[in-house]
């Protein structure tokens, strides 16, 4: 395997990915804090909005650098997919947050809190796996994190389905069902994007192992 650390361009890429990952974990944590405490919603959504812009900027930096670099640490395409998937995770948390605000949600459903918790765990796994990609000896650990991310995505699926079933059972207001379906779907999709990142990382790990 190419020792990434010996390549100066590679170093810049990994630093940008880690910047993106740190921003993603912060966004996830703020979402969890928001649904758990359900206080100062507007202010927190504004902060998530700012994280979304930061995510856009670092993604743009990665893509621009990618297009100017001839030899990249791994597949150009995998690198672009990685950058976009990290950004998508932030975008989906952001979309859920904005929907909660704009749809004037009273209190967050239990399912939303559970999903926010899963997203925090999954994004942290993504961040750690990403960091280990730099070092050849830890590639096996990359794969272990990928398996854990897949497990979390399946768990999120189940939470989503149960939350939807519960909504249909106990919610007399159909408009609320539509609102919550959208919010829960955004949150569940965030874990799908974590799995996309895991798939890229798994591929890179296998290819260079």
Among 43, 67, 107, 137, binds its own copies (CB under 8 A): 67
Restricting to residues 144-203, name those near its own copies by CB under 8 A.
161-162, 164-165, 168, 174-175, 177-179, 181, 199, 202-203
Distances (CA, A) of 9 to 70, 71, 77, 138, 201: 10, 9, 16, 21, 19
CB of 140 to its own copies, least distance (A): 14
| Cβ proximity to its own copies, 22 vs 203, nearer residue | 203
- Is 77 an interacting residue with respect to its own copies (CB under 8 A)? yes
Q: How many positions of this chain bind its own copies (CB under 8 A)?
A: 26
Number of other CB atoms surrounding residue 100 within 10 Å: 24
Restricting to residues 104-133, name those near its own copies by CB under 8 A.
104
- Is 207 an interacting residue with respect to its own copies (CB under 8 A)? yes
| Cβ proximity to its own copies, 25 vs 114, nearer residue | 114
Query: Using an 8 Å Cβ cutoff, are 32 and 77 in contact?
Result: no
- Is 140 an interacting residue with respect to its own copies (CB under 8 A)? no
Token duo for residue 86: 């990290």
Query: Using an 8 Å Cβ cutoff, are 156 and 125 in contact?
Result: no
Burial 140-173 (b: 16+ CB within 10 A, else e): eebbebbebbbebbebbeebbeebbeebeeeeee
Token duo for residue 181: 């379906």
- What x/- string results for residues 18 through 57 when contact with its own copies is judged by CB under 8 A? ----------------------------------------
Show Cβ contacts of residue 113 under 8 Å, excluding neighbours closer than 6 positions. Answer: 32, 35, 36
Query: Using an 8 Å Cβ cutoff, are 25 and 90 in contact?
Result: no
| Cβ proximity to its own copies, 35 vs 205, nearer residue | 205
Of how many residues is the chain composed?
209
Chain residues that interact with its own copies, rule: CB under 8 A: 63-64, 67-68, 77, 98-99, 102-104, 161-162, 164-165, 168, 174-175, 177-179, 181, 199, 202-203, 206-207
């Amino acid at each position: 395997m190419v020792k990434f650390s010996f390549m100066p361009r590679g170093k810049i890429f990994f630093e940008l990915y880690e910047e993106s990952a740190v921003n993603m974990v912060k966004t996830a944590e703020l979402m969890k804090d928001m649904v758990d405490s359900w206080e100062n919603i507007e202010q927190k959504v504004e902060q998530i909005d700012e994280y979304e812009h930061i995510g856009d900027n670092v993604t743009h930096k990665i893509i621009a650098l990618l297009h100017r670099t001839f030899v990249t640490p791994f597949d150009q395409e995998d690198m672009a997919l990685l950058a976009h998937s990290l950004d998508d995770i932030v975008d989906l948390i952001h979309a859920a947050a904005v929907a909660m605000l704009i749809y004037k949600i009273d209190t967050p459903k239990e399912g939303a809190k559970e999903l926010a918790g899963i997203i925090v765990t999954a994004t942290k796994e993504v961040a750690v796996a990403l960091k280990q990609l730099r070092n050849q000896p830890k590639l096996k650990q990359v794969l272990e994190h990928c398996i854990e991310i897949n497990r979390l995505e399946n768990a999120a699926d189940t939470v989503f389905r149960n939350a939807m079933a519960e909504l249909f059972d106990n919610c007399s207001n159909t408009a609320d069902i539509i609102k919550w379906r959208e919010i829960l779907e955004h949150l569940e999709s965030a874990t799908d994007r974590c799995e996309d990142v895991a798939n890229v990382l798994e591929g890179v790990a296998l290819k260079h192992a």
